[in-house]
Amino acid sequence: MRFLIIVSILFLSACMTPEEKPLVEVISFEDLSELMSSDKNTLFVFNFWATWCKPCVEEMPSFTKIADKYADEDLEIIFVSLDFFSNLEKKVIPFVKDNEIKSKVVLLNERDPNSWIPKVSEEWSGAIPGTLFINNAKNIRAFHEKTFTFEELDTIISSLIAEK
């Protein structure tokens, strides 16, 4: 019986249209690590943020403009929310809706940041915003603990996309 329930849930979730899929996926660090380990020749930009972080919220439109500018390039922006899981429904999802965020948004549901922060970057103190740029196919990995302007992001992304 349990098998039938699981198969039914998997079938129904696979049949969902994009509008029915959750706006924010709740993931573990193991799931995030898998995303960060992709061997696709794509520049992945992982922006670590939270709804309560004013600099994080202020820089988000720059990431949105970058996603639009490089829509024809192999670029994927993933916003990693560090909000508490208890704020998913009342803060994170409304924020994503209100700001019409089209990029992938995940909520990292981990209790001990000291266990995973150094795995993202040894340079990261844990302050946000923090942004990780990865293209494993090109051996690119760079972390920046700062708030970006559009111009700064554009400079970094254009140079990383151009790298051979």
pLDDT tens-digit readout, 69-128 = 999 999 999 999 999 999 999 999 999 999 999 999 999 999 899 999 999 999 999 999
Average model confidence (pLDDT) across the chain:
89
pLDDT recorded at residue 164: 59
Please indicate, yes or no, if residue 65 is contained in any of the structural domains: yes
E strand or H helix that includes residue 82: none
Q: What is the per-residue pLDDT for 106?
A: 98
Rounded to 5°, the CA angle 66-56-123 comes to: 90
Residue 140 lies in a domain: yes
Do the domain assignments include residue 105?
yes
Number of domains observed in the structure of the chain:
1
Sheet holding 25-27, edge to edge: 25-27, 104-108, 75-81, 43-49, 130-135, 140-144
Is the pTM above the cut of 0.75? yes
In a domain, 11, yes or no: no
Q: Which domain holds residue 83?
A: 21-162
* Domain assignment present for 12: no
CATH number of domain containing 76: 3.40.30.10
